Amino acid sequence: MEPKTILDRLADAARARVALAKQQDPPGAMRAKAETLAAAEPEKAYWFEKAIAGDGMHFICECKKASPSKGLIAPEFPYLAIAKDYEAAGASAISVLTEPQWFLGENRYLREIAGAVSIPCLRKDFTVDPYMIYEAKALGASAVLLICAILDREELKEYLAVADSLGLSAVVEAHDAQEVRMAADAGARIIGVNNRNLRDFTVDLGNCLRMRDEAPEDTLFVAESGIRTPEDIRTLEAHDIHAVLIGEQLMRAADRRAELRRLAGREKKTHLKICGLRTPSDVEAVNAAAPDFAGFIFDPSRRRYVRPEEAELLRKRLRSGIRSVGVFVNAPMEEILDVLRRCPVDAVQLHGQESDAEIEALRAARPGLFVIRAFRVDGPEDVERAEASRADLILLDHGAGGTGKTFDWSLLRHVKRPFLLAGGLSADNVAEAVRLVHPWGVDVSSSLETDGHKDAEKVKRFAAAVRAAGE
């Protein structure tokens, strides 16, 4: 007998949850509650599929605190604010995790989010009993997830009929051609293909492209997992894929609204990071320009080094909305964690030879930590290496430690993932850099200084140049 996969364990746990839920709220009462709500809101019948059926790519954005493959993603989880950010940035629907053990979801997240936004919500859970479909309707969901891998054909047909009786849409999730055909034969109107193999967690974006032809043409088709760039979105749209379900990419973003706009090709903003703050006057100059990020250098060998205790005092003086970043160069993980205890910055920036394994170990030790990894760019192979990094964001520079010199920006014209551009940027050349390579953001330090300190006028002029170029 083969050992149980994580998907098997998730399904078993869901069955145990249902058994407990039925004791607290009997099936007849839950069904009556759901049917009463459906009768009272006929205008919301099949709201979810209507929302993703129009022209263009539609975004189903996920509120997810954790996952089996990544562990804790969002230690702080302001789920209502996250959902409202998605709505404001143009999401067509919101996916809400309610699975409590591995995803740290809760039913109340769905109920409260559905009551707070004016777009439909998908209950993302492991549906193993019709009870969960009635429960989803009672919680305010407009759609449920049905996973072929944990249902047989008759169960799938039964669950689709229950959903239809309540005016609920159903996203039927498949992983291979056999499951796509199973979904189509059962009468699924929405088929979602997961690019993540839930048995070993590997991701293959091409999976949904290969499966598209297996589904009927009139099926609403959703791509799930592994979607990170606007180019991914354009590729999917060219293959007649109607919607994408995106979770971790948005949940880890420093600015979720901006990240959704970037993926949708609607982003105009170029983010600004100012590094090397050491004094209260530096903070004052930076606050006046209101960049997105401010960096503190924690490498004692660097001229702009600042002790963690001093950095913490400066961090507390940063203007609201400016995210703090700690910069390290080949520092041992114990040292990084010690600095983070003394100065809890929002992100770390690694400027050495740190490996993906070290990045993952750092995330495991500090769940939810946002990691920026810097790369020196001398040729195309360096760009390829950077794009493969497991960091949340990459920084491309002339030198790993920051040399203050420019490099051949044409090497970056085809970078497919968000990146920070650094190296020799000034108010005189940053507009040209933005127009040439369209970075997600720019990182600057030395050109904004006079006599070793941030010059308020130079900071103001640079910030103005970045914003003008970004628009």
Choose one of 232, 263, 294: the last residue of a domain: 263
Asked whether residue 316 is domain-assigned, the answer is yes
Note the pLDDT tens digit of each residue in 433-449. Answer: 988 888 989 999 999 99
Please give the model's pTM, rounded to 2 decimal places. 0.62
* CA angle (109 as vertex; 345, 84 as ends), nearest 5: 65
Please give the structure tokens belonging to residue 327: 């910069």
Same domain, 10 and 91: yes
pLDDT, tens digit (0-9, with 9 covering 90-100), for 88-142: 889 999 999 999 999 999 999 999 999 999 999 999 999 999 999 999 999 999 9
Q: How confident is the model at residue 400 (pLDDT cuts 50, 70, 90)?
A: very low
Q: Does residue 69 sit in the same domain as residue 196?
A: yes
1 belongs to a structural domain: no
Where among 263, 292, 325 does a domain terminate? 263
Residue range of the domain that includes 200: 6-263
| Same domain? 317 vs 242 | no
Active-site residue flag, 397: yes
- What mean pLDDT comes out for the span 268-287? 93
* pLDDT class of 374 with cuts at 50, 70, 90: very high
Confirm whether 65 is domain-assigned. Answer: yes
Burial classification of residue 451, based on how many CB atoms lie within 10 Å of its CB (0-12 exposed, 13-18 middle, 19 or more buried): exposed
232 with 296, same domain? no
CATH classification of the domain holding 437: 3.20.20.70
Same domain for 366 and 241?
A: no
Residue 432 lies in a domain: yes
- Co-location of 253 and 313 in the same domain: no
**Rounded distance between C-alpha atoms, residue 260 and residue 250, angstroms:** 7
Question: Looking at 208, 275, 292, 343, which residue is catalytic?
Answer: 275
The answer to the question of residue 40 being in a domain is yes
Number of domains in the chain: 2
- Indicate if 176 and 58 belong to the same structural domain: yes
Residues in the chain: 471
| Domain endpoint, select from 263, 297, 323 | 263
Alpha-carbon dihedral sign for residues 361, 362, 367, 368 = negative
Mean pLDDT, to the nearest integer, of 49-76?
91
The separation between CA 389 and the C-alpha centre of its own chain, rounded to angstroms, equals: 16
d(CA 198, CA 167): 29
280 shares a domain with 228: no
| SS (HEC) of 262-308 | HHCCCCCCCEEEECCCCCHHHHHHHHHHCCCEEEEECCCCCCCECCH
Residue 101 within any structural domain of the chain: yes
Please tell me whether residues 390 and 285 are part of one structural domain.
yes
Residue 91 is encoded by which pair of tokens?
A: 């999401």
Domain annotation covers residue 314:
yes
pLDDT tens column, 7-58: 889 999 999 999 999 999 999 999 999 999 999 999 999 999 999 998 889 9
pLDDT score recorded for residue 127: 98
C-alpha span between 237 and 231 (Å, rounded) = 10
Q: Catalytic residue among 125, 232, 282, 397, which?
A: 397
Q: Check residue 398 and report its DSSP letter.
A: S
Mean pLDDT of the chain: 91
Same domain, 167 and 188: yes
- Per-residue pLDDT, averaged over 368-377, amounts to 89
Q: Nearest Cα to 437, choosing from 396, 382, 398?
A: 396
**Distances in whole angstroms, Cα of residue 377 to Cα of each of 4, 327, 330:** 45, 19, 18
The verdict on 375 and 432 lying in the same domain is yes
> Do 236 and 280 reside in the same domain of the chain?
no
